[in-house]
Amino acid sequence: MKKIGLLCGAIAVAASMGVAEAKTLKLQASSKAGDWAHRFMTDDWQKKFNMMTGEGGVKIDVLPTKAVVPHRETIDAVANGILDGDLNAVSYFSGRDPAFAIMGDLIAGYDTVDQMQTFCQIGGGKEMLQKIYDKYTKGKVHVVGCGPYAREAFVSSIEIDTVDKMKGVKIRSPEGLAAEVFKRAGATPVSLPFSEVYTSLEKGIVQAADASAHVNNDASGMYKVAKYPIYPGIHSMAVLQFIVNKDVWDKLSEAEQTALEVWYIAAYTTMRRSADMEDKKLAAMQREGGDVTVVDWAQEERDKFRAIAVGAWTDFGAKSELATEALEANMSFMKTMGMLEE
């Protein structure tokens, strides 16, 4: 009986040690604490993944933007093991190579979020992004997936209902391709972090902003100072990546790797559908309320803006070999899907 008791005790200790050693992956997201997108992850989908892997399995902890490192430094943090992974915006890194701009947000390129998600996950996008990371992190990063979850609304304190009305407007914009498109449309792009958009609009430093999904902008209070949102958006469909440190990835079991891949696709597909539904509800309420004027561009104006964007794509794609290859991958997919003529 004594031997049986000792054996049971040893098993219990071993089991408790196994639970204690379960890896929790620290992932830094691009969203702020309190944003709809961040709450979507932490309140629901983070918990779902941790339930999926069970006791002793790998877990995740989704941190808000800048929780560990600045938003433009997550690549290095993941490669060096400071972060286990990130769920960050690809376009933040366009200063390193124009290829990140092409992959991060092909401004005015895709009509729907589903199209871009399809390109990223099964149309060659994920593989293209991996090739870019292999160069800039020397193989220290594994790309699990990529894709947007929303076509962003355009925040504005003045009514802009045509391309011509963009002329002279100071617009907060990420550096790179987005800024170039706005510049070609006659606007003056200003580089500001998302955290400064509200006060910049309030103080008149900018009159408009490339910000976030319609529902995120509402949660951030944007429509208290910017009462002329353009919805559906005319420009941005920011691609978020899911990357993991390569050593961390390789140490996961095949089952854990599969769980992360399946979780990512399920989470972001659901986020896409939920954001679209929430955006539509919000726009309907704003139209009924009268305090906020929802601006919806005519298709003719959207086509004009797309034509401007195509010229910027081509010039941006010529800036590096990887950017050229990234643009070709996007356009090849669009042609296959009937979105561009051969």
Sketch out the chain's domains with CATH numbers.
Answer: 23-150+232-342 (3.40.190.170)
| Tens digits of pLDDT across the chain (342 residues) | 444 444 344 434 333 333 335 699 999 999 989 888 899 999 999 999 999 999 999 999 999 999 999 999 999 999 999 999 999 999 889 889 999 999 999 988 888 899 999 999 999 999 999 999 999 999 999 999 999 998 888 999 999 999 999 999 999 987 778 889 999 999 999 988 878 999 999 999 999 998 888 988 998 899 999 999 999 998 888 899 999 999 999 999 999 999 999 999 999 999 999 999 999 999 999 999 989 999 999 989 988 998 899 899 999 899 999 999 999 999 899 889 887 776
Q: Does the bond joining 232 to the residue before it have cis omega, within 30 degrees of 0?
A: yes
| Residue 24 zone, left/alpha/beta (φ > 0; ψ -120 to 50; rest) | beta
Is the Cβ–Cβ distance between 30 and 68 less than 8 Å?
A: no
User: 271: which 2 tokens?
Assistant: 């986020």
Helix/strand/coil percentages in the chain, nearest 5: 55, 10, 35
Please give the Cα distance from 42 to 28 (Å, whole number).
Answer: 12
The predicted model scores a pTM of 0.81
Helix, strand, or coil (residue 251): helix
